[in-house]
């Protein structure tokens, strides 16, 4: 029997992994999600863990409340800790120190203390494909790291710190660098839930730069499967990419929403200027995780868009009347 603690546990991808653990994994004794905010509204948690005695949610800030965090760790004695917690937003040039506090300093402090405990069997860091910067081909885990934002630099620093902890101290860690993930419950300022929201509400989606940028998208269920394979089968110290075979433009993603909602693309979108310095393309070579662990994405982008639309229709009456803006917090 295993116990899991998911940091950043109020976020969409931790929620989906908790759902995976509770519904599909074997030998799960406890799943504790740890987040800085109170439990989110039903559209963003969709009942995960309700009435399941194996599940708990705890509101703890991993930067400013590590004393409380370790009280929880020592009480639960998790076999596996998965760190989803990160400040991750395009405008990381504003108050960039906040990104370093959460994405680097908190992780290094936490791991130093965890090395003093003998109950932890594995620490999985959820990284990002943005470390590789803009690329013109699918890149593997050995590709040079060329971050182009404070956010990406902070995530790179955390990865390098963990690699050093494994090499020198044998801290039992792995790193997963997924492509852009999405799924039901994702915050509304992200591109896919916002497109669905605008389509359902009859509002215009501001499409930055006409959606020319290319990214690689995987469904949260495919991400959860990759995470669990690493947690149960991977050799310690290994880094894994996880993404689809091909990227697509953001415009194509929004076009799929318009098609599935049976509306003209022009009715859904207004074209607005793009962001300065935005990377042109993210594209991962995921051969290692396929060869080592047998993972590959199973949910096509169109199937995933349909899933998002179904989620939006189900919860539209419980979603806010206006898309909330991103607010940078510690």
pLDDT of residue 33: 98
Helix residue ranges per DSSP H, the chain: 12-23, 42-45, 66-76, 96-100, 106-114, 150-169, 191-201, 220-233, 250-260, 265-268, 287-293, 301-315
Closest CA to 59 of 44, 39, 82, 83: 39
pLDDT of residue 91: 74
Instruction: Give me the half-sphere count of Cα atoms (radius 13 Å) on the Cβ side of residue 128.
Output: 26
Residue 7 main-chain phi, psi, to 5 deg: -85, 145
pLDDT of residue 1: 75
pLDDT of residue 90: 67
pLDDT of residue 74: 98
Name the 3-class secondary structure at 310: helix
pLDDT of residue 245: 95
Please tell me whether the overall predicted TM-score, pTM, comes out greater than 0.75 for this model: yes
Q: How far apart are CA 30 and CA 2, in angstroms?
A: 7
3-state helix, strand, coil in the chain (%, to 5): 40, 20, 40
152 CB neighbour count, 10 Å cutoff: 24
Q: How far apart are CA 287 and CA 298, in angstroms?
A: 15
In the chain, domain spans:
2-181+218-242
pLDDT of residue 325: 76
Q: Which fold has domain 2-181+218-242?
A: Rossmann fold (3.40.50)
pLDDT of residue 88: 86
Q: How far apart are CA 300 and CA 183, in angstroms?
A: 12
Per-residue pLDDT of the chain (330 residues; tens, 9 = 90+): 799 999 999 999 999 999 999 999 999 999 999 999 999 999 999 999 999 999 999 999 999 999 999 999 999 999 999 999 999 876 788 899 999 999 999 999 999 999 999 999 999 999 999 999 999 999 999 999 999 999 999 999 999 999 999 999 999 999 999 999 999 999 999 999 999 999 999 999 999 888 899 999 999 999 999 999 999 999 999 999 999 999 999 999 999 999 999 999 999 999 888 777 778 889 999 999 999 999 999 999 999 999 999 999 999 999 988 887 777 777
Indicate the burial class of 137 (C-beta count within 10 angstroms; 0-12, 13-18, 19 or more). Answer: exposed
pLDDT of residue 38: 94
Q: How far apart are CA 196 and CA 188, in angstroms?
A: 9
pLDDT of residue 210: 87
49 CB neighbour count, 10 Å cutoff: 20
């Amino acid at each position: 029997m295993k116990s899991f603690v998911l940091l950043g546990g109020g976020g969409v991808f931790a929620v989906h992994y908790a759902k995976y653990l509770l519904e599909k994994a074997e030998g799960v004794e406890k799943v504790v999600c740890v987040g800085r905010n109170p439990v989110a509204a039903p559209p963003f948690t969709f009942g995960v863990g309700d009435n399941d005695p194996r599940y708990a949610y705890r509101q703890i800030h991993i930067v400013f409340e590590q004393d409380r965090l370790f009280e929880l760790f020592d009480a639960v004695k998790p076999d596996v800790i998965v760190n989803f917690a990160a400040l991750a937003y395009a405008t990381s040039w504003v108050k960039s120190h906040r990104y370093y506090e959460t994405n680097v300093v908190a992780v290094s402090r936490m791991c130093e203390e965890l090395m003093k405990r003998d109950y932890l069997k594995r620490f999985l860091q959820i990284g990002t494909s943005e470390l590789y910067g803009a690329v013109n081909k699918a890149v593997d885990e050995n590709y040079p790291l060329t971050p182009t934002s404070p956010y990406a630099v902070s995530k790179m620093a955390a990865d390098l710190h963990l690699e050093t902890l494994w090499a020198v101290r044998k801290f039992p860690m792995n790193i997963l660098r997924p492509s852009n993930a999405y799924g039901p419950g994702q915050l509304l300022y992200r591109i896919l839930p916002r497109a669905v929201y605008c389509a359902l509400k009859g509002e215009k989606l501001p499409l930055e730069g006409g959606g020319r940028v290319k990214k690689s998208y995987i469904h949260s269920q495919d991400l959860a499967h990759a995470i669990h394979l690493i947690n149960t089968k991977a050799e310690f110290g290994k880094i894994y990419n996880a993404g689809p075979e091909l990227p697509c433009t953001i415009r194509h993603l929004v076009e799929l929403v318009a098609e599935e909602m049976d509306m003209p693309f022009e009715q859904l979108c207004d074209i607005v200027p793009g962001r300065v310095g935005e990377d042109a393309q993210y594209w991962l070579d995921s051969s290692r995780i396929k060869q080592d662990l047998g993972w590959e994405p199973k949910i096509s982008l169109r199937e995933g868009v349909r899933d998002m639309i179904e989620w939006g229709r189900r919860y539209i009456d419980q979603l806010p009347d206006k898309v909330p803006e991103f607010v940078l917090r510690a």
